[in-house]
Amino acid sequence: MRVADWQVRIIQLLAVPGLLLSFYLWLFHNGSLLAICDPSGWDDCGAVSGPDAPFSSVGPIPVAAIGFVGYTAIFALIWLRAWLPIVDDYLPEALVGVTGIAFLFSLYLTALELFVIHALCRYCVVSAVIVALMFGLSLSFLRSVTSRSHEDVNEASASAA
């Protein structure tokens, strides 16, 4: 891993609390844990991601499980970079793709919370912020890699001339 790839390190670091958060919400959705937040106005974890919440699953799959798989994929993608050269070659594009899909899904879920459910889950909001940061860092990483490759091409053409 190159020192200049600080964005990748932060993305992987952010995946850890995302994994923990989504796992907690998954357990809460399954009824294995009680919510820490009590229903009060807009802050109602049960209405958003509880076992009986109507929008807490996509078909039979809990939204929290989808989040857990997504965070795992992001973490693993960066981790596999050291062993698979093809992952290293396409990491900037892959990260933008995976975090972009996660970002769009988070936007959709946040819109559901605000405009349909009329309640927010503080943990879901934290997860959405983590995903937004990851997406922004992925775009920054892609931009830095692209500008670096353009600089390398310009240097190569200048030394060849």
Encoding tokens for residue 150?
């353009």
Ordered per-residue pLDDT tens for the chain, 161 residues? 455 689 999 999 999 999 999 999 999 999 887 766 666 667 888 889 888 899 999 999 999 999 999 999 999 999 999 899 999 999 999 999 999 999 999 999 999 999 999 999 999 999 999 999 999 999 999 999 998 766 666 665 566 65
Domain assignment present for 1: no
Domain assignment present for 107: yes
Domain assignment present for 55: yes
Domain assignment present for 161: no
Query: Are 37 and 73 a contacting pair, CB within 8 Å?
Result: no
pLDDT in tens, 98-143: 999 999 999 999 999 999 999 999 999 999 999 999 999 999 999 9
Number of domains in the chain: 1
Residue 75's CATH number? 1.20.1440.130
CB atoms within 10 A of CB 56: 23
Domain assignment present for 23: yes
Residue 133 gets which letter from DSSP?
H
User: Which stretches does DSSP call E strand in the chain?
Assistant: 57-58, 61-62
On the 0-12 / 13-18 / 19+ scale of CB atoms within 10 A, 155 is exposed
Domain assignment present for 21: yes
Domain assignment present for 131: yes
- Which range marks the domain in which residue 27 is found? 6-34+44-156
| 110 half-sphere exposure, CB direction, 13 A CA radius | 16
CA dihedral 52, 55, 56, 58 (to 10 degrees): 120
Domain assignment present for 63: yes
